[in-house]
Structure formats: structure tokens, C-alpha cells
Amino acid sequence: MLVGRDNGGMESSHQEALRYPLGKYQAPATIDEAQRKAWIRQIASLPVQLASAVHGLHDEELDTPYREGGWTVRQVVHHVADSHMNSQIRFRWALTEDAPLIKAYDEGLWAELPDAKTLPVKVSLDLLDGLHRRWIALLLRMTDGEFKKKLRHPSAGEMSLEWMLGLYAWHGRHHTAQITRLREQMGW
């Protein structure tokens, strides 16, 4: 992830806290079955939590950036759907191929596409609900060995599926927190 710069090349701690309300993803040194199960529960709960975070917001609120220079709430919701679709596909590639090289995408450009800027968030919330049901069905049936399988990202290098599991559990909580903190700040 690229971090925006100000203050002579350093992002202010306030801007950093707005951008990463939970901090940046840090995988534990050791990932065990209990940790994987906790992450699976977090991924399973995301559709309901994200829907709750945007419940009752009208278009003007949905089109408010969660921070200065950041995406709007609407773009964040559509981004989560885009990102988790890509992740689920990446899991499937890693499970069926030997350390495949995955395709990266420019999430910033995807967030600027007309659907991400205008479509009702319900479309992506519904998509996430079905996508996560399918993804959780897969995750719950994966073996320890399958979680150790790897994929290769063009710029980030090799990563295991268990590491990716933690990343996407964090990712959903991270974006939900951006929205809920904005709501708190704005008194919505």
C-alpha cells in the first residue's frame, strides 16, 4: 500500500490514524488453527458488519470521503467487494495450481470507475453476502496443508494462504472501521 505524504514527506499521525484506524496489517509470527478459525469468523461476519456500518446513510453521506483525500463511503463499500472477489479467486488459484503468479489490479483506478462512484451500496453488500457464504464454505473445509499453499504477487512476492486469510480478515475490519469512525466524527 502506498501511503500519502504531507509535512515534508511524512504522513501526519492524525492522517495515518484516519487512513489506518486499526493500524496496518501485521501477521503474527506463528499462525495456528485457532488463529485461522478466528480470522474465518471475522471474514464470515463482515457482510453483516459492513451493512450495519452503512445502514441508514443517504446519498450525500455515502458520497462523503472517510478522510481528506480518501475514498467516499460508497467507494469503500464497492472496493471491499472488488477486493474480496479478487481474494477468493486467488485462494482458488493457489489451491488448484502450484504457487501461481496472480494478477494484480490498481484498486485506486477501480474505485474511480463509474459503478464504484454511483451504484447503490446494496449491490456490493448483496454481492459480499453471497461471495462470503461461498468463500467460508471453502475455508472451513481447507486442511492445514492447504493453508500453507502459496501464491506469488507480482510486486509483494510469495505469500501463504493463511497469511492471506489474516490479511483479508483485517481488510474487512479496517474498511468497516473507516466508515464507523467517520459516522462517529460526523454524528451520523
Q: Is the pLDDT of residue 9 over 80?
A: no
pLDDT tier at 11, thresholds 50, 70, 90: low
Distance CA 100, CA 149 (A): 10
pLDDT tier at 5, thresholds 50, 70, 90: very low
Using one digit for the tens of pLDDT, what is the confidence trace for 46-63?
A: 999 999 999 999 999 999
Write down the residue that cell numbers 459480499 correspond to.
128
The model's pTM = 0.91
What's the pLDDT score for residue 3?
Answer: 27
The three three-digit cell numbers of residue 86, written as one number: 479478487
Q: Is the pLDDT of residue 1 over 50?
A: no
The HSE-up count of residue 39 (CA atoms within 13 Å, CB side) is: 23
**Helix, coil or strand: residue 152:** strand
Q: Which residues contact 19 (CB under 8 A, 6 or more apart)?
A: 3, 4, 11, 67, 70, 178
The three three-digit cell numbers of residue 23, written as one number: 493500524
What's the pLDDT score for residue 6?
Answer: 36
Please report, for the chain, the start and end positions of each structural domain, with discontinuous segments joined by +. Answer: 33-186
Fold of 33-186: Four Helix Bundle (Hemerythrin (Met), subunit A) (1.20.120)
Please tell me what DSSP assigns to residue 28: -
Distance CA 66, CA 73 (A): 6
Q: Which residues contact 107 (CB under 8 A, 6 or more apart)?
A: 79, 82, 83
pLDDT tier at 12, thresholds 50, 70, 90: confident
What's the pLDDT score for residue 145?
Answer: 97
